[in-house]
A and B are shown apart, each in its own frame.
Chain A
Amino acid sequence: MASYSDIARDGLWKNNPGFVQLLGLCPLLAVSNSLVNALGLGLATIFVLVTSNVIISLIRDWVQPQVRIPVFVMVIAATVTAIELIMQAKLYELYKVLGIFIPLITTNCIIMGRAEAFAAKNPLPKALADGLAQGLGFSAALVLLGIMREILGQGTLLHNAHLLFGEGARDWTITLISNYDGFLLAILPPGAFLGLGLLIALKNDIDRRMAQRAAQPATAGQPVDSAA
């Protein structure tokens, strides 16, 4: 049985859905072109992940193993439909910006992956914690990539914040580089791939340094797994 600290560490760092499992790459790459978009989709994904994990954990003893996948899919689709309707009602502008990627949360492999690998085998509190940790890990990857691409691409942060935080946030935009022509590549799809590759490389480098420090007395020079 995984402890809560293991669950948290797995979701946020060791087994991060965005940087390590490389699940849900489609929304991760497509919606991370600005911080607000990334945050919006991240929150929606956390909500879906937690809710579907909770429901699946609750019904896990009644679901026959032969039909578990269709059952999970229906649970996830129902949750996604709920959040889609909520966003349509409360955050209509953001809903329009994120467009197809809201319903596509259904097909995000992380949701099904956690349902199958964790929620279907663990009691409710653990499943809830796992959904939260994995969702936060995915959102962290999304937000980091969003920050990187927005700064490089248009020199701002929190542009269009009112889509997520309401009218009062309209002037939250922080212009980091004024008179910036913009590096269009960072906003376009290739920028997403390059940015994700660089972030994964950075994470692997941090991991390598930590492993080296941990193994300092015993063995020096661990084999390095290459990335990017």
Chain B
Amino acid sequence: MRLSSPHLPVQPTVPQVMRRVLLGLIPGIGVMTLFFGVGVLVNIAIAVLTALLAESIMLKLRGRELGRFLTDWTAVVTAALLAIGLPPLAPWWLPAIGAFFALVFGKHLYGGLGYNPFNPAMIGYVVLLIAFPTQMTLWPTPLGVGEGAPSVQAVLTAAFGGSLDSFGGIDALTGATPLDHVKTQLGLAMTVSEAQQGRMFGLFAGQGWEWLSLAFLAGGLYLLFTKTIRWQIPAGVLGGLALISGLFWLGDADRFASPLFHLTSGSAIVGAFFIATDPVTASTTPRGRLLFGAGIGILTWIIRTWGGYPDAIAFAVLLMNMAAPTIDELTQPRVYGHKSGRKRRED
């Protein structure tokens, strides 16, 4: 820990920030492993290994210092954020290809750490979602639903190319996620409350998923408490998502799921605290952060409700990444002692 005089804040270094983010992810990863099986850990391990390999190859090709950039934990965080979005019954090459694209195309081709306009983890995720739609939907049924979380053997068989027939086949192990399910049922002219019947749903959202969201929320609060992230982006994302889903829900509760369901389903919480807050690709002004977050929340709801994919944090984050420079430009804070506004009141 570096020390400074009382009035000078200590800026944490990049490795410090990254280590805190990883610490913050631990409760979420733990709960996820409990409900969805050890596939989560397998995915993370494969993604991290591939990411470090891709990072060292790219650093070498670009003639950069290997030791310093390889040990700054950024590649590990990118890989971990990508891997927790992948279904825990994925074949091994899924996290590997995702991490490769995230690091090579999302990060290094743009100039490496600090120069990438898009969140690298989300680039990797979207590449996988577009290229391998089938494999990306193989979510195992969580603990307490159907067969429950898949066993270690089942996970390893799925990851390394074996046949899942001895475990009852892929259909016995996987199921629709709550977001998927609600979307399909609404398409069949059911109401939201009818769609949310059944064992798949827990106290207030999907069985298992709600606890996962709470665990990520705990990790996110840790990041807030240690001032690793500012409050504006998570508040913006969750506020934007709650606001728009709340408005439509109040208008027609049969056709639109409740804000609570939206906030605790899919990757809304992890997106708000861990993904949207990437210091490189998010807005940097206080008001800009709020706007940036709100944009992600609103886009997420729009894509979830009317789009072709069940969850939408990744697309929403990438779209808002594009808008971040403009948002920053338009929300420059007033410099103390100067008038507000840009050159408007020059007299």
Contacts and interface: CB of A to CB of B under 8 A. Distances in A.
Nearest to A185: B131
Interface in B116-156: 127, 130-133
B105 interface: yes
B130 A184 contact: yes
B109 interface: yes
B134 to A, nearest CB: 8
A135 to B, nearest CB: 31
A13 interface: no
Interface residues of A: mostly helix, strand, loop or mixed? helix
A183 interface: yes
B118 to A, nearest CB: 12
Interface string A163-184: 0000000000000000001011
A42 B132 CA distance: 30
A228 interface: yes
Contacts of B132: 181, 184
A190 B130 contact: yes
A43 interface: no
Contacts, number: 15
Nearest to B133: A184
Nearest to A186: B131
A184 B131 contact: yes
Report whether over half of chain B's contact residues are helix, strand or loop; otherwise say mixed: helix
Interface size class of B (residues with CB under 8 A): under 10
Interface in B77-118: 105, 109
A27 B132 CA distance: 26
B268 to A, nearest CB: 26
B105 A194 contact: yes
Which of the listed residues A184, A185, A186, A188 has the most CB atoms from chain B within 10 Å of its own CB? A185
Interface string A86-129: 00000000000000000000000000000000000000000000
Contact of A183 (B109, B131, B133): B131
Interface in A55-76: none
A103 B131 CA distance: 31
Interface string A183-197: 111101010001000
Contacts of A190: 130
Nearest to A190: B130
B131 A228 contact: no
Contact of B130 (A181, A188, A228): A188
Contacts of B127: 185
A202 B339 CA distance: 51
Contacts of B133: 184
A193 to B, nearest CB: 11
A183 B132 CA distance: 7
A43 B130 CA distance: 31
Contacts of A194: 105
Nearest to A184: B131
B109 A185 contact: no
A203 to B, nearest CB: 16
A181 B161 CA distance: 13
A94 to B, nearest CB: 27
Nearest to A188: B130
A188 B109 CA distance: 20
A130 to B, nearest CB: 34
A178 to B, nearest CB: 15
A220 to B, nearest CB: 15
Nearest to A187: B131
Contacts of B105: 194
Contacts of A185: 127, 130-131
Contacts of A183: 131
A185 B126 CA distance: 10
A183 B131 CA distance: 6
A184 B136 CA distance: 13
Nearest to A153: B131
Nearest to B135: A181
A185 B132 CA distance: 8
15 contacts: A181-B132, A183-B131, A184-B130, A184-B131, A184-B132, A184-B133, A185-B127, A185-B130, A185-B131, A186-B131, A188-B130, A188-B131, A190-B130, A194-B105, A228-B109
Given A183-B131, A185-B130, 7 more contacts: A181-B132, A184-B130, A184-B132, A184-B133, A185-B127, A185-B131, A188-B130
Interface of B: 105, 109, 127, 130-133
Nearest 5 Cβ contacts at the A-B interface: A185-B131, A184-B131, A183-B131, A185-B130, A185-B127
